[in-house]
Amino acid sequence: MNDPILVTRSSMPPMEEYLEEIKSLWDTRFLTNMGPKHQELQERLKAYLGVQRIDLLTNGHMALELAMQALGLTGEVITTPFTFASTTQAIVRNGLKPVFCDVNPNDYTMDVTKIEELITDKTSAIVPVHVYGNVCDVEQIRRIAEKHHLKVLYDAAHCFGVRYQGRGIGDFGDASCFSFHATKVFHTIEGGAVCFRDERFGETLGALKNFGLRDGIATEVGANAKMNEFCAAMGLCNLRHIDEEITKRKAAVDCYRSHLEGISGISLCPVQKDVVQNYAYFPVAFDREAFGADRDQILQRLSEENVFARKYFYPLTSTFPCYGNQFDPKTTPVALRLSSQILTLPLYAELDCADVDRICELILSCKR
């Protein structure tokens, strides 16, 4: 049996490089609380991501939770259920009500033609997700938000390094939240960031991630969500290798596409116009009728051969038991269908083309 191939595998810098990076911590003993590594990574990421301002946090989830709090959101928030648990949980943990908008069948981002019918006098924001690194219709979302005086907070957890029309994706909306989790294109072991423009928002966010303190006095009800120095050091190392990381991922994606493009019953995400991609995930939608096997049968077949794809994102977050039966998934039919059809295939820098060939061969052997 071949070695297991998991949906992803963290990239690591050379060990010596990381050891060199953390050496100074034994001298300074400055291990957290916005130390020098945190500050250096913040500056470097600001330049790399092409954003005006950025703050680093413990993880992508706390970035979302605290960004929502810092934006002062109230009442209802329009979002999508075709996402990781974090997006919806952050909304609910802020005491807000998620109102689920369907996604479009092409790139799986929020269907902008369905947003306005969901706006009520309680709506305070739109929280779209750049799912799998696919860019939302940022122009149309901006127009709708301006017309109805709504804030826009992007879940950009999958979008490290993505650019749209030459602009860093974190530069859109009132704020954008990134995840630097170990499973991401760029990681700091655990980590995340909020990108934004407004200086006062940044001051509030900075207080919120540090117990709500400003000059030792709590002016907000805050949390502890500071990125520590060991994580920031990992980020500094990984950032030096980011171009190579993305190039290797692209090679694996090209290889997948060469096998799976144009096969009846298989839909791949289109390459979006004016977008510099990061090759974060490789989602494939299987239409049971046309392909002759359903997503779960393919998942099973792959796992028999030690290949572990994942059902990101099944089930829809709107169906999670923790929310009771508040939400009807039938109100988002496209998302509901996609959640039963999509498999995210293994993708990481070290995945070589021979492995991709084998994975595709297995998939195509299921076709009837």
Binding site for ligand T4K (CB under 6 A): 6-10, 59-61, 83-84, 86-87, 129, 155, 157-158, 179, 181-183, 192, 312
Q: Which is nearer to ligand T4K, 129 or 356 (CB)?
A: 129
Smallest distance from ligand T4K to CB 338, Å: 15
The pair of three-digit structure tokens given for residue 361, joined into one six-digit string? 């061969």
How many Å apart are CA 135 and CA 362, to the nearest integer? 30
Smallest distance from ligand T4K to CB 8, Å: 4
Smallest distance from ligand T4K to CB 362, Å: 18
Three-class secondary structure of residue 155 per DSSP: strand
Smallest distance from ligand T4K to CB 38, Å: 16
Smallest distance from ligand T4K to CB 147, Å: 26
DSSP 122-142: TEEEEE-B-GGGPPP-HHHHH
Q: Which is nearer to ligand T4K, 84 or 291 (CB)?
A: 84
Q: Which is nearer to ligand T4K, 222 or 346 (CB)?
A: 346
- Give the E-state strand segments of 80-188 in sequence order: 97-100, 123-127, 151-155, 163-164, 167-168, 175-179
Smallest distance from ligand T4K to CB 158, Å: 6
Which residues have CB under 8 Å from 152's CB, separation 6+?
Answer: 125, 126, 127, 128, 141, 142, 145, 172, 173, 174
The closest of 78, 68, 77, 61 to 332, measured between CA atoms, is 78
Q: Which is nearer to ligand T4K, 12 or 263 (CB)?
A: 12
The closest of 82, 65, 84, 79 to 7, measured between CA atoms, is 84
The closest of 57, 49, 2, 61 to 208, measured between CA atoms, is 57
Asked if residues 230 and 263 have their Cβ atoms less than 8 Å apart, the reply is no
Q: Which is nearer to ligand T4K, 10 or 210 (CB)?
A: 10
Q: Which is nearer to ligand T4K, 234 or 291 (CB)?
A: 234
The pair of three-digit structure tokens given for residue 187, joined into one six-digit string? 């990681």
Q: Which is nearer to ligand T4K, 168 or 291 (CB)?
A: 168
How far is residue 29 from each of residues 3, 22, 38, 147, 220, measured CA to CA in Å?
41, 11, 14, 51, 29
Smallest distance from ligand T4K to CB 248, Å: 15
